[in-house]
Each structure stands twice: as structure tokens, then as C-alpha cells.
A and B are shown apart, each in its own frame.
Chain A
Amino acid sequence: MAQMTLMEAVRETIRSEMKKDPTLFIIGEDVGKYGGEHGVSGDLWQQFGDDRVRDAPIAEASIVGCGLGAAITGCKAISEIPFGDFVGMCMDQLYNQVAKIRYMSGGQVQVNLVIRTTMGGYVGGAEQHSQSLASWFVHVPGIKVVIPSTPADAAGLLRASLNDGNPVIFFEHKNMYGLKGEVPDDPDFTIPLGKANILREGSDCTVVATSLQVHNAVKAAEQLEKEGISCEIIDPRTIDPLDEETILSSVKKTHHAVIVHEEWLKGGYGAEIASIIADKGLFDLEGPVKRVAAENTPIPFSPVLENFVLPQVDDIVDAVRQTFAE
């Protein structure tokens, strides 16, 4: 085990996989000598050089398409889009090409591609640099959606994503890159996709949370514990394909459910999870399924406004209380 930040966990996983597989390369804006716009690629360019750590022009469609074209012709690729907010610039490549090319070709093609991008606010990034857009990709079939919440999860999930043989979009929270945690030394350490993690066992309310909200949920749970409410916190880790079984088993036990994510409330993947619970776990519920999410507004700049819009620990505490009907 080694103590490292989430950023280091991502970097070291990429490094070890690039050592193992000479066909794996990363392409993105400023990933080379600059070390990545958030610093993730670090010294990878110094180690692996231009061809395998490729600085791209500001051409997101080509960054994704380049990864795709290489990934279907004998390489493995990481296409980095430094801010998830930029996916509009490569949306066709993502949902019409990457997500569909295997299916459209009747299975002739294997897409060994991971799109790494970021999500999240709380940094004053404002409307066009703070969005969490994973919900869009949960909706489109053909691309897996992975969101790590700890350094260990980042390492294991990224390794799994790089070896899945399918396209994965991997969301790193830009305000979590400095989060420290223990990461196994094993160079093959993998966390299977499609498997949720129960961070904290509890008996009274299931709290499904992703990314930074996992940590907010933990704080909320500690507060609620003092009120005698025991929360079970589940991090799906892979949003699509979702580990429904773990969530439904938990609800069967606790009879209450709250879903927390930083994506907007309306049509966010929390609605999908809530719907699954309402469909397959309705008779286990003793209260409404509550969702804590960003207000349905663009993410504003001024911290007082941003904090109003984005989920806070108190919002989770309130939501849990609200699942217990008066």
C-alpha cells in the first residue's frame, strides 16, 4: 500500500499500463511536456515521449476520433478532455462513433478506448468549467460511465477501464485531485466495472452517492448517526452498467433511499436509480426516494451562489430526514 493523491493514483495507473502495453498512448491538450492541464500526466511525457504522450491541438473531435481510430486498429488509447464541459466539441465522436461503432458493424470492432475527463465545481470555475455531465453518457447505450471517489478506486477502476475492451468515459472530479488515500502496490490492482462499493454499513437509510458527494455523504452520515439514524453509503463507482443488485439489497434492508450526485437534478442519473428502486424495490420502501443534486441552473460563479446550487452536507442530512414520513 502507498499513500497518494487521486491525481497520482491516476498517473501511476497510466504509467504502469503504458509500461505493460506498448500500444497504449494518451492524447489530449497539454498532456505532454506541460504535464496536463490539471497536472495528471505529470512526467509521463518525459518517460514515454511524443508519440505515446501526444499533445493535441484544441480539436476535441479529433482528440476523441484519434483515440477511436487507433483503438479499433490495434492500439489502446486514452483521449483526455480536460474539462467535461468541452464534450460538446466532440459529442458526435462520442455518442455517434465511439458508442456505436461496435454495434453498427455487427461486432466486428473492439474499441479499446478510455475517455478521461473531469467534472465538478466548488472551485469557482463558473458555468462552462464546473459541469458534471455523466448523465448524458448514462443515457446513450454503448459507452460505460465510471466515476471514482477515492485514489484506490481511481487506480483500480482506471485499470479495469483500460482493459475492458469497451469504450469507457472516466470522470475525475477536478476538486478531488488532491484527495489522499491508500492505494495497493499491486501493478495489476483492478476493481471490476459494474460493481458498487458499500463504504459504510447502516440499517436505516441507503445513501447512494458518487464522486465528491460520497465524502459529503460520509459527513452527513456521521451527523445523522448522532441523531440515531444509521446510513448505509453505497458508491456505485460504475454508473453504467449500474450494480442494481447491491443498491436494491440495501434498500430491502433499510427501507429508505437517498441518491446524491453533483449532476443536475432533472433527468440526472439519480432519476434512473430512483426509478429502478421504485420499479424493483417499491414494496421495500417506507418513504419517498429523495434525490440531492445540483439545482437546475447553470453553475454560477460567486461562491455564495455556487454553494447554493451545488449539493452540501446539510442537503443530504435534510434529505435523509425527509425519507422518514411524518
Chain B
Amino acid sequence: MGSSASSKETLTADTALDLYRRLVLIRRFEEQVSKLYAKNKLPGFVHLYIGQEAVATGVCTNLRDSDYITSTHRGHGHTIAKGGDVNRMMAELYGKVTGYCKGKGGSMHITDMKIGMLGANGIVAGGIPIAVGAAYGAAKIRKTDQVVAAFFGDGATGEGPLWEGINITQAWSLPVIFVCENNLYGVGTRLGKVMGSEDLAPRVKGFGVPVEVVNGNDVVEVRKAASEAVERARKGKGPTFLECKTWRHRGHFEGENPTYFDQEEYNTWMKRDPLKTLESTIQKRGLADSQRLRDIQKQVDAQIQEAVEFAEASEFPKPEAALEDIFV
């Protein structure tokens, strides 16, 4: 499954540690959210990104602040990887006025326009047409070299608008990187039960879009594949479809026990944990010692702790604020 891409990649210690810090930041944030949710601190629903950190990280480290991403209901990892503020994220999950969306959107609608995060989206494939539009506006109207990474899952390949987007971006050479996080399950349904194949990239080839299948749990491999896709897009050469094979560790949403997972398959994927994979790469290449990694973990833990304290100390919005922000 993995290619030799990671061995060809020239990975510096700084880059590796930066990637590691981002993976840990997403992981620790989500683990904290899981704990808080179990303590009934967070209203509504959360869909955790644990296990898929390498995809968001590998893609977003190739993006500028001025590039865009569209996301899904499972958007915490995308937001953090793009450079999101964990304080404002945590506050949003609590429903506090200091949250990214003033408590109005919650987990599934976290948005940070300053870093081009066009919003998590509660509708499967709902962000795809928006990604196409952001790409169109950039490339065809404002004539910039901005690119758009559109994240979606294997489940989204059931939705028509995804294929509309793949077609349109190819027809008009729009700068979109389609990042498919194939974690093999749409909620509780195995991909193969509802699709002709569990390999999604071959279907895309017919549209003329270049595809690459990557080990979605190897951040170095994702990063390399994404860098090529980003460059292609920036040069006006159109879209790329990255199928990132990965696995989510937890249920579709917190509170759901994924009894539909095959235990053996689950164990196999746990061994491919993206954090462990990068740790192993760092160790094998002698890029940093384990103390350095522990230091990063500690820093991140402190950062997450601060985020929780920020959220807890923040105010809820005034009830009447519900009437604001519909229109300018």
C-alpha cells in the first residue's frame, strides 16, 4: 500500500518536528474533546478526526494562509492543520461567544476566513461546489495563484455534486486538490457494500483528472503527493485527486460505538497510527531523539489545557444574539 515516496522525500529535522507537532496538536485536541464530551461539557455532536491526522497535516503544510480549504463534518483536524486557533475552536465547541463563530455554528461549521478555512460542513459533499467556486473566483476572475484543497470522505463519492466538481475543475483547469479521506466507512456502512469498488481513484481517471493513491497515515507521503498537486494547481494545470487510505479510530460521532469495525482490521490500522508512523520515521532517520518528541507533546498538552481554560472561562452569547449575523 505505501509507496517508496517517503524514502525519496528529503525530510529535514525541522520539517519533521513541525509535522509531528501538528499531528500531536490535532490528536491531543480531539482526545480532550472526547473527554469533555463524555463529561457532558459540549452540547450537540462531535465527529473526531483521530487517526486521520496525517491527511490534513500533509496537505495543509503545502498551503499558504491565502489558499483555501473546504471541509466536512469532521473538520477539527483540517482547521488545526490549516493554522486554526485551538482556543477559539474549543470555545466554539462549548458554544461560547468567544468561539470562532460566536457559538453560532459549533463543531460542524467552524470557519476561519483569515486562514482560508471556508467552513466545516454538515452536509456530505456540501463543501465541494464551494471549493469549485473559490477556485473559479481565484483563477478566472481575480487571476491569482491561490489553490483550494477540498477535503471529503469516501462517503461523499456517493454524492452527485462531487462528480460535478471533478468534471468542472478538469474542464476549466481549476486549482482544486480533491483530498479523499477513504476510511472505508460511511457512518456504519462499509464502503464495498454501497460502491462498486473500495478503490476510488480509478473512477476519477475517466474524468481526465490525475490521481494519486497514498498511505493516508504517512504524513510524509501525503505531504509529498499534496505538494505535487498544489504545484500543478498553482501553475494552472488543473485539479488532482488524492485518495488517502486511512482509518478513523473512533465511531462516526462521539457516543457511537463502532461495533461495525472488524476487530482484526481495526488492530492492523492501529499499528499504522499516523503519530507512531512519523515517530518511527524520525527515529529511523535520526532526525530527533525521543526526548524532543516528549517535549513537543508536553507543549501541546499545555496548549490544549489553555484552550480548555479559555473556553470554560468565556461567556455564552446573549440569547438575542441569535437574531444577528443573518445579513450584513
Interface residues of A (CB under 8 A from B): 22-23, 25, 27, 51-52, 54, 56-57, 59, 61-62, 64-75, 77, 92-93, 96-97, 101-110, 141-142, 144, 164-166
- Contact B128–A104 (Cβ < 8 Å): no
Binary interface encoding of chain B residues 135-178 relative to chain A, with 1 for a CB under 8 A from any of its CBs, else 0: 11110111000000000000000001100110110010000000
- Contact A69–B135 (Cβ < 8 Å): yes
- For chain B, the bracket of interface size reads 35 or more
- Contact B101–A73 (Cβ < 8 Å): no
Smallest Cβ-Cβ distance to A51: which chain B residue: B140
Smallest Cβ-Cβ distance to B135: which chain A residue: A69
List 18 A–B pairs whose Cβ atoms lie within 8 Å, in order of A's numbering.
Answer: A57-B164, A62-B164, A65-B132, A65-B161, A69-B129, A70-B134, A72-B130, A73-B138, A77-B137, A92-B161, A97-B129, A97-B130, A104-B101, A104-B119, A105-B104, A105-B111, A109-B119, A142-B326
A-B contact count (CB 8 A): 151
Identify which of A54, A92, A109, A110 contacts B126 (C-beta below 8 A): A92
Binary interface encoding of chain B residues 101-134 relative to chain A, with 1 for a CB under 8 A from any of its CBs, else 0: 1111100010111000011011100101111111
Identify which of B111, B126, B137, B160 contacts A74 (C-beta below 8 A): B137
Identify which of B111, B135, B328 contacts A104 (C-beta below 8 A): B111
Q: Cα distance A108–B88 when bound, in Å?
A: 14
Closest 10 interchain pairs by CB?
A: A65-B129, A69-B133, A70-B137, A106-B101, A106-B102, A105-B111, A107-B325, A104-B109, A59-B164, A69-B134
Tell me, yes or no, whether B265 is within 8 Å of chain A by CB: no
- Contact B129–A25 (Cβ < 8 Å): no
Q: A97-B123, A109-B111 are in contact. Are A66 and B136 (CB under 8 A)?
A: yes
Tell me, yes or no, whether B274 is within 8 Å of chain A by CB: no
- Contact B113–A108 (Cβ < 8 Å): yes
Q: Cα distance A68–B136 when bound, in Å?
A: 10
Q: Cα distance A57–B165 when bound, in Å?
A: 10
- Contact B141–A25 (Cβ < 8 Å): yes
- Contact B119–A23 (Cβ < 8 Å): no
- Contact A66–B129 (Cβ < 8 Å): yes
Identify which of A56, A62, A75, A107 contacts B141 (C-beta below 8 A): A75
Q: A52-B141, A75-B141, A106-B99 are in contact. Are A65 and B130 (CB under 8 A)?
A: yes
